[in-house]
Amino acid sequence: MTALVTRRLLTSLPMLFLVTLMAFSLSYLLPGDTATAIAGEGANAERVEAIRQQIGLDQGFVSRYVSWLGGLLTGDLGTSWVTGQSVSSELLRRLPVTASIAAGTLLIAVLLGVPIGLLQGMRARRSFDRAALLATAVGLAIPNFWLATILTGTFSVQLGWLPALGYTPISSGVVPWMKHLVLPCLTLGVFAAAEMARQVRTSYLHVQEQPYIQTAIAKGIPARSLVGKHIMKNAAAPAITVLGIRLSHLISGTVIVEEIFGAPGIGKFAIESIRSHDFPSIQVLILFSAMFVVIINMAIDVVYCFLNPKVRLS
Amino acid sequence: MNTSPMPLLEISGLRISTRGASALHLVEDINLSVGRGETLGIVGESGSGKSISCQAALGILPSALEVTAGRVVFDDTELTHLDNRRLNHIRGRRIGVVFQNPLSSLNPALTVGHQIAEGLRVHKGLSRKRAWQRAVELLDVVRIPAPHLRVKNYPHEMSGGMAQRALIAMAIACEPDLLVADEPTTALDVTIQLQILDLLASLRDELGMALILVSHDLGVITRMCDRVAVMYAGQIVESGATNELFAQPAHPYTSALISSSAVNVAKGTSLTAIPGQVPRPRDFPTSACRFANRCAHAEPACVAEAPAWTPIREDRGTRCRRVAELELPGLREPDAASTAEPDLAAASSESVGDAALDVHQLVKHFAVRSSRGRRQVVHAVDDVNLSLRPGRILGLVGESGSGKSTVARLLLRLIDPSGGRVVVMGEDLARLKRNLLRKQRKHMQMVFQDPYGTLDPLMNVGQSIAEPMLVHFSMSAAKRRDRVFELLDRVGLDPSVADRRPAALSGGQRQRVAIARALALNPTLIVCDEAVSALDVSTRAQIINLIQGLKEREGIAFVFIAHDLATVHHVSDDIAVMYLGRVVEYGPADRVYLAPAHPYTRALLASVLRPGEHNEDSGHRAIGEIPSPIDPPSGCRFRTRCQFAVDICAAETPQPMPMPGGGWSACHLNTPSPEAAVILTAEGFS
Ligand code: SF4
Ligand code: SF4
């Protein structure tokens, strides 16, 4: 297991290195002069020159890149051009928001998607299955900004149960924290749960047809352990893969949801940074997403290999 | 067909149909019974309905099928309409099942021990610990070495034979009254097959179980069963005591099955093939004999009315209306085939002439990495020498893992050899450059076990056959079309087949198409890699006759690779026996088959099960299973399984020693077998 993790980490190093390179080159891809672009229209030449010096554009690409990399390694993620604050403190401040939304979404996907998919598998082609197939098709088709509008319209505006905007940290009370999370999480969770249900149903039905399930039935073991042990253990692996993929897509999902619900998370941070050409922040955010994906994939591998002894050995 | 006063399992009037509006009846009117301590065999080709009949009896039919008529009574309990909860009191506890493919029949995510212990905990209420201990004991009962370690294995860590033993351990865990074994040895090598059958028989006797054995192999049935039921196209067409039924079959299908088996027919003669194919369920005739379109004895009355079940006497009956008038051939005198004296003069394999194929010291080593990342070498093929003249067939036999398929791929240079020469038509393939190789390749073609893999499912048959011509010849479309028809005709297919897709063909027809495609480039050599192994007995005979015909009429040389020694002996002029990457014995087919000199060949031969003959034990056995080709045993590679092994066997690699009667054998003992001794005196060798 540790060997697997180390190997995965080592093989992802070159990839991460490439990401840093690409993220860093971004500031050079802006049309025209970088400093002018940052200074904005109407800035005088002195201001532009001041900026150029301040961010070190007068130094060569290589030396800037190396010093940036060195900073990353020592934990200095750079300073925002816009706010003048350190990027790391901004990131840390916003991380809990996004993490809460992501966790809530996954929770919905698992708590809703898995039982629905399982029930569908067990009662395949009967009325519950058909209804759920329809419902999940709808869940997969609804665009999330639209769903967000409907949800806020219903639960905040009409019923007034939940806040439509903003975020309160958990430190100022669990209930308000949760109340603020429900709508963003639902917005993302409906899709994730529908996807999960579909995957669980498919793999359940696939596993059910396998010869070893016939063996297990012929052994006369009760339905409970048949489903719980024999089917689920084999059906879980593909479902978990799907969950992992969803999780790594969640980053882009939170960008939209945080914008709609005005939650000050990383997604919103990304949008703000891009709007204000705040390159130090953008670079770190790109790197952060890449690392997030690498870690998720590794986690999937570890779980997968726990579920599938064939992989575990090789 | 009642024998004992009180059968343990009695199936009567069983009908199984597909669910849905236009239900197809897959099997109909099945009547079977089996008593305690008795073994019932069910024979039939694929699609005959033999497996689903057993599944229905256990309530484990696939969800698309249901029982629509009849009763299954097990020890006074009617099973067909029992709910799952009550069925679970019987399944696994009183009836055990062993399926065909051991590796896919075990749950890949659970340890073998867990899977065995599970049934014990459910049915016997054993504690977790006690059930685990019992699982270890059971693995010992089925003779798995080091059971306390194996119990923790996952299925993929076991070989096929060992997984089948584990499956048997699971089936007998609760000491059931009835064991159902559905093709239990079909996926296994012959030497392992024999071990598994022996195990089943001894467990049956020890536990006093009734045994139902489903198989397509008449030899397996003969060895194991007291009584047998023959199924064809969803019906039982004949049943009775095994010996009697094989000696005097009362249904033309049974008779034809027996005569199409290679073990039962004199070498060199063509096998009696049953023409045509088994009809598909939607084509089952309702008011005619289902065998009529393939039956040599059919008369107009046979297609006017479906023949009724005709009891001949108690416990014996047939579904043929002409039973009274027909005199059907059964098994020949025991061993008529093999008592024929080998014609040694004609059989000499060393005669000169231009070889179609010459293989010299062929070597193939693969590098692999162990789980710990260590580099290891797989000795897949070591120092193989073969030669083959035009118009002859060289048989290559051995268990899986013997390297015979690797040799096949080396012959066509589908993979590159690590050393040695492969000379085809005077050109050394091993040294040819890629572009020249392509030209040379048209002289050699290959036919695989599964023609599905080689025929493009999206192309029709005509396109598939024409494809190699497009690449290698320039000819007009009309000419090509003519040529396709000609090729189809040569392999005995109707020209109309050209427009069909591979999926619409039966296994035998697909194999014919694959051969037609191979013939398209006028090859001098065709390599058949297990080309008939997946086919049913009757179809297998058709393909074998086709290959022999091509050899005789057109002078094509064949390398015929199979694991079944009887079939290889029947088709081949010469045989090479491979074991763990080496050829251990080589010579004229009759000499190798009738007077085998190498202990491994003898062990292979001892595992050939002849229908109608309760093979008495010849004492030649291969112990255990074939070892890994990584670090093969030193000296003689067979020594770990050889019952004659002596000290020198580990120290020195035995060299080929010429054998009287032709060919050679590579064994240190090198004493001609007793059979060979007989030949010696007869032929006046000294
Ligand atoms: S009933 Fe007629 S067609 Fe059928 S097996 Fe008998 S002889 Fe052949
Ligand atoms: S050389 Fe020795 S081990 Fe090998 S087959 Fe002969 S007797 Fe057996």
Query: Ligand 2: which of B578, B620, B642 to mutate, most ligand atoms within 8 Å of CB?
Result: B642
Domain spanning B388-572 has what CATH number?
Answer: 3.40.50.300
Domain boundaries, chain B: 9-232, 242-265+279-335, 388-572, 596-686
Chain A positions in Cβ-Cβ contact with residue B90 (cut-off 8 Å): 220
The CATH fold assigned to B9-232 is Rossmann fold (3.40.50)
Ligand 1 contact, B289 CB (< 6 A): yes
A290 residue type, one letter: A
pLDDT band at B393 (very low <50, low <70, confident <90, very high): very high
Angle subtended at Cα B491 by Cα B490 and Cα B493, rounded to the nearest 5 degrees: 100
Query: Ligand 1: which of B251, B278, B289, B538 to mutate, most ligand atoms within 8 Å of CB?
Result: B289
At B677 the pLDDT is: 41
Query: Ligand 2: which of B585, B639, B648 to mutate, most ligand atoms within 8 Å of CB?
Result: B639
Q: Do A215 and B91 touch (CB under 8 A)?
A: no
Q: Contact A226/B88 with Cβ under 8 angstroms?
A: no
Phi and psi torsions of B91, nearest 5°: -60, 135
Mean pLDDT of the B129-137 span: 94
Q: Contact B147/B139 with Cβ under 8 angstroms?
A: yes
> A62 by DSSP, 3-state: which?
helix
Ligand 2 contact, B668 CB (< 6 A): yes
Provide the pairing of β-strand B39-43 with B25-34. unpaired
Q: Which of B570, B460, B474 is nearest to B516 (CA)?
A: B460
pLDDT band at B449 (very low <50, low <70, confident <90, very high): confident
Q: Is A125 on the interface with B (CB under 8 A)?
A: no
What is the pTM assigned to this prediction? 0.80
Predicted confidence (pLDDT) per residue in B208-226, tens digit: 999 999 998 888 998 899 9
Task: Find residue B630's DSSP bridge partners.
Answer: B378
Inter-residue long-range contacts of A42-51, CB under 8 Å, 24+ positions, other chains counted = A51/A81
B69 residue type, one letter: A
pLDDT band at B353 (very low <50, low <70, confident <90, very high): low
Eight-class DSSP state of A44: -
At B618 the pLDDT is: 60
- Checking if the pLDDT of B684 tops 50, the result is no
At A185 the pLDDT is: 92
Give distance in angstroms: CA of B233 to centre of ligand 1.
Answer: 13
Phi and psi torsions of B372, nearest 5°: -95, 10
Number of Cβ pairs < 8 A linking chain A and chain B: 84
- Checking if the pLDDT of B348 tops 60, the result is no
Angle subtended at Cα B534 by Cα B508 and Cα B158, rounded to the nearest 5 degrees: 165
For B501-523, letters b (16+ CB in 10 Å) and e give ebeebbbbbbbbbbbbbbbbbeb
At B349 the pLDDT is: 43
In angstroms, the separation between the Cα of residue A145 and the nearest Cα of chain B is 41
- Checking if the pLDDT of B672 tops 60, the result is no
Ligand 2 contact, B636 CB (< 6 A): yes
Mean pLDDT of the A31-36 span: 67
Give distance in angstroms: CA of B294 to centre of ligand 1.
Answer: 9
Mean pLDDT of the B406-420 span: 88
Q: Do A217 and B91 touch (CB under 8 A)?
A: yes
Predicted confidence (pLDDT) per residue in B646-657, tens digit: 888 998 899 888
Inter-residue long-range contacts of B654-660, CB under 8 Å, 24+ positions, other chains counted = B656/B586, B659/B587, B659/B591, B659/B595, B659/B597, B660/B685
- Checking if the pLDDT of B168 tops 90, the result is yes
Give distance in angstroms: CA of B231 to centre of ligand 2.
Answer: 44
Q: Which of B15, B43, B48, B47 is nearest to B29 (CA)?
A: B15
Ordered domains of chain A (ranges, CATH): 2-58 (no CATH), 94-275 (1.10.3720.10)
At B283 the pLDDT is: 86
At A111 the pLDDT is: 94
Distance CA B351, CA B88 (A): 66
- Checking if the pLDDT of A300 tops 50, the result is yes
Q: What percent of chain B has pLDDT over 70?
A: 90
Mean pLDDT of the B244-257 span: 91
Q: Is A6 on the interface with B (CB under 8 A)?
A: no
Q: Contact B113/B158 with Cβ under 8 angstroms?
A: no
Predicted confidence (pLDDT) per residue in A218-254, tens digit: 998 888 888 888 898 888 888 888 888 888 888 788 8
C-alpha Rg value of chain A to the nearest Å: 24
Residue whose entry in the numeric block shows the structure tokens 């009696």:
B272
Mean pLDDT of the B154-171 span: 90
At A33 the pLDDT is: 67
At B666 the pLDDT is: 92
Highest mean pLDDT pick, B136-145, B437-446, B452-461: B136-145
Distance CA B299, CA B556 (A): 39
Q: Do A234 and B93 touch (CB under 8 A)?
A: no
At B673 the pLDDT is: 47
Predicted confidence (pLDDT) per residue in A113-131, tens digit: 999 999 999 888 889 999 9
Distance CA A209, CA B207 (A): 32
In angstroms, the separation between the Cα of residue A72 and the nearest Cα of chain B is 34
- Checking if the pLDDT of B172 tops 70, the result is yes
Task: Say how many Å lie between the first and final Cα of chain A, rounded.
Answer: 11
Mean pLDDT of the B190-202 span: 89
Predicted confidence (pLDDT) per residue in B467-511, tens digit: 888 888 778 888 888 999 999 988 888 888 888 888 888 778 888
Mean pLDDT of the B447-475 span: 82
To probe the interface with A, which of B107, B111, B370 has the most A CB atoms within 10 Å? B107
Q: What percent of chain B has pLDDT over 90?
A: 34
Both structure tokens of B402: 């013997």
Nearest CA to ligand 2 atom 6: B667
Q: Do A309 and B154 touch (CB under 8 A)?
A: yes
The CA–CA distances, whole Å, from B258 to B45, B246, B359, B537 equal 13, 7, 37, 9
At A262 the pLDDT is: 86
Work out the number of other CB atoms within 10 angstroms of the CB of residue B482: 12
- Checking if the pLDDT of A21 tops 80, the result is yes
Q: Tell me how far apart the 2 most distant CA atoms of chain B are, in Å.
A: 76
Both structure tokens of A286: 């790109």
Q: Is A223 on the interface with B (CB under 8 A)?
A: yes
Phi and psi torsions of B230, nearest 5°: -100, 125
At B339 the pLDDT is: 44
In angstroms, the separation between the Cα of residue A6 and the nearest Cα of chain B is 14
Same fold for the pair B9-232 and B388-572: yes
Ligand 2 contact, B669 CB (< 6 A): yes
Ligand 2 contact, B639 CB (< 6 A): yes
At B678 the pLDDT is: 37
Both structure tokens of B652: 């020195």
Which comes out higher in pLDDT, residue A306 or B676? A306
pLDDT band at B372 (very low <50, low <70, confident <90, very high): low
- Checking if the pLDDT of B295 tops 80, the result is yes
What's the complex ipTM?
0.77
